[in-house]
């Protein structure tokens, strides 16, 4: 009997963990595979929260992140340490997700060893190598290396084919973030205590219209982050509104937000949320204001409009479908767009009821089925 194929699953950030734990679970459930999990801990605390709720104990934990680490220093450490793990494990294939430094270095380390790389959430393109930075170049590099490209949408698949990727190596799967959201929502319904930590804020803001905020993009550091902070200040001045803002750990975010927003009664600046509590925030928020990629996919699955504080997005499907809108980082524009959704019921309903283009919750199953076909060859 043929031994199960070892599949090395590499990730390092909270979003990667959320989007890959359904794939790990699907691999574990399939006797053809033995998943081996390697985490870089590019996000230490936020990563660990997802690992705990998903019940994943990494086989290899590199714990590489250091305070104020440069991108080139991080990339060098990732490439060296991920290569060492690959030499030890000798996997049949390597899976990476998205566009982080961990994913790019994982793909490159595998390429150096001629190990096939499979890219989950392949084909996202903004068309600008500095927005998002450095993610746009990271994912383009992975796209040149990958053996299989698991594209979340037809648009993403089209972007890959336009770059001369063999269409036979591209599979439209949906996005695993929807699998994860369905899983955690069901867990919360079965055990509400998993997300009970927001109960006090929900009580404090009862009767108010909650705006959920996340921001962390490097290209928004500096003036963009200051504009965002001022927009939140102006939005929170409305007596009918409350803002719940899990503040990213990066000091480039925290220092600006603490300076601008401390002491405002209608703004709750809280520590980053674990995954169940973030899912709860999505469910109680009326609008999500974000520069995150994942929120553009997750919020529409719960019928919540997303205003994206970026000039471009690698997820244009949401904009086309009407679930998301690009608002940039100019204070006046952010405030105007939020107020439009708060005050114009038709505008709100048009976004809230738009079809989510990012999947049906069966993405991990499709990925593992295709991997099975590939191993079978």
Q: What average pLDDT does range 305-326 have in this prediction?
A: 93
- For residues 43 and 80, state if they share a domain: yes
Pairing of strands 287-290, 241-246: unpaired
Check whether residue 263 and residue 304 sit in a common domain: yes
Helix 294-301 and helix 176-190: axis angle, to 10°? 50
Whether 18 and 152 share a structural domain: yes
Domain shared by 171 and 291, yes or no: no
**Residue-wise pLDDT tens digits, 48-85:** 989 999 999 999 999 998 888 899 999 999 999 999 99
* Higher pLDDT, residue 60 or 294: 60
pLDDT per residue over 218-237, tens digit each? 888 889 999 999 999 999 99
- Asked if residue 153 and residue 26 are part of one domain, the reply reads yes
For residue 261, the number of C-alpha atoms closer than 13 Å in the C-beta half-sphere is: 31
**pLDDT greater than 90 at residue 300:** yes
Summarised one tens digit per residue, pLDDT across range 135-176 is 999 999 999 999 999 999 999 999 999 999 999 999 999 999
Largest Cα–Cα distance in the chain? 68
Task: Evaluate whether residue 185 is within a structural domain.
Answer: no
- What pLDDT is recorded for position 377? 66
Q: Are residues 108 and 230 in the same domain?
A: no
**Active centre residues (catalytic):** 99, 121, 135, 216, 218, 248
pLDDT in tens, 92-121: 999 999 999 999 999 999 999 999 999 999
Q: What are the DSSP E strand ranges found in the chain?
A: 5-11, 33-39, 60-61, 93-97, 117-120, 148-151, 170-172, 209-214, 241-246, 267-270, 287-290, 306-308, 324-326
Residue 204 has pLDDT above 90, yes or no: yes
Q: Are residues 124 and 23 in the same domain?
A: yes
The CATH number for 340's domain is 3.40.50.2000
What pLDDT score does 286 carry?
98
pTM of the shown model: 0.86
- Check whether residue 340 and residue 202 sit in a common domain: yes
Q: Which domain holds residue 210?
A: 193-352
pLDDT recorded at residue 157: 97
- Tell me: pLDDT of 295 over 90: yes
Residues 213 and 308 grouped into a single domain: yes
pLDDT per residue over 356-365, tens digit each?
889 889 999 9
67 part of a folded domain: yes
The pLDDT, as a whole number, for residue 96 is: 98
Q: Is residue 367 part of a domain?
A: yes
pLDDT at 171: 98
**Does residue 228 form part of some domain?**
yes
* Residue 134 falls inside a structural domain: yes
Q: Do residues 112 and 149 both lie within one domain? A: yes
Assigned domain for 319 exists: yes
Quickly state the pLDDT bin for 47 (edges 50, 70, 90): confident
Mean pLDDT to the nearest integer, 268-291? 95
Q: Is residue 180 part of a domain?
A: no
Position 268 pLDDT exceeds 70: yes
Instruction: Say how many domains are in the chain.
Output: 2
Both 71 and 146 in a single domain? yes
Does residue 233 fall inside a structural domain?
A: yes
- Using one digit for the tens of pLDDT, what is the confidence trace for 113-132? 999 999 999 999 989 999 88
pLDDT of the residue at 228: 96
Nearest to 201 by CA among 263, 261, 266: 266
At 2 the pLDDT is 83
pLDDT score recorded for residue 219: 85
> How confident is the model over 334-352, as pLDDT tens digits?
999 999 999 999 999 999 9
Examine the domain organization and report whether 306 and 367 are in the same domain: no
């Amino acid at each position: 009997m043929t031994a199960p194929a070892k599949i090395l699953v590499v990730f390092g950030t909270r979003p990667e963990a959320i989007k890959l734990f359904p794939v790990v679970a699907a691999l574990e459930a399939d006797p053809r595979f033995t998943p081996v999990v390697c985490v870089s801990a590019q996000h230490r605390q936020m990563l660990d929260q997802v690992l705990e709720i998903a019940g994943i104990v990494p086989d290899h934990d590199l714990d590489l992140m250091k305070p104020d680490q440069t991108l080139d220093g991080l990339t060098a450490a990732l490439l060296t340490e991920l290569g060492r793990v690959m030499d030890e494990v000798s996997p049949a294939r390597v899976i990476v997700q998205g566009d982080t430094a961990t994913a790019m270095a994982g793909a490159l380390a595998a390429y150096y060893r001629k190990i096939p790389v499979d890219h989950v959430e392949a084909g996202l393109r903004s068309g600008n190598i500095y927005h998002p930075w450095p993610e746009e170049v990271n994912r383009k590099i992975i796209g040149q290396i990958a053996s299989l490209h698991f594209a979340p949408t037809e648009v993403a698949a089209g972007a890959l084919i336009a770059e001369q990727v063999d269409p036979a190596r591209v599979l439209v799967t949906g996005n695993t973030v929807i699998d994860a959201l369905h899983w955690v929502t069901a867990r919360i319904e079965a055990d509400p205590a998993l997300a009970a930590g927001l109960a006090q804020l929900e009580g404090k803001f009862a009767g108010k219209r909650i705006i959920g905020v996340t921001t962390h993009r490097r290209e928004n550091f500096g003036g963009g982050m200051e504009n965002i902070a001022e927009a939140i200040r102006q939005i929170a001045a409305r007596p009918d509104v409350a803002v719940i803002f899990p503040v990213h750990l990066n000091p480039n975010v925290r220092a600006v937000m603490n300076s601008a927003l401390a002491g405002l009664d209608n703004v709750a600046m809280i520590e980053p949320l674990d995954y169940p509590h973030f899912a709860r925030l999505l469910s109680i928020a009326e609008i999500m204001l974000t520069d995150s990629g994942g929120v553009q996919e997750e919020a529409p699955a719960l019928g919540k409009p997303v205003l994206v504080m970026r000039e471009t997005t690698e997820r244009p499907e949401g904009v086309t479908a009407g679930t998301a809108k690009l608002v940039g980082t100019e204070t006046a524009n952010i405030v105007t767009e939020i107020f439009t959704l708060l005050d114009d019921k038709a505008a709100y309903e048009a976004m809230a009821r738009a079809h989510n283009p990012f999947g049906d919750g069966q993405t991990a199953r499709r990925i593992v089925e295709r991997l099975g076909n590939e191993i079978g060859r």
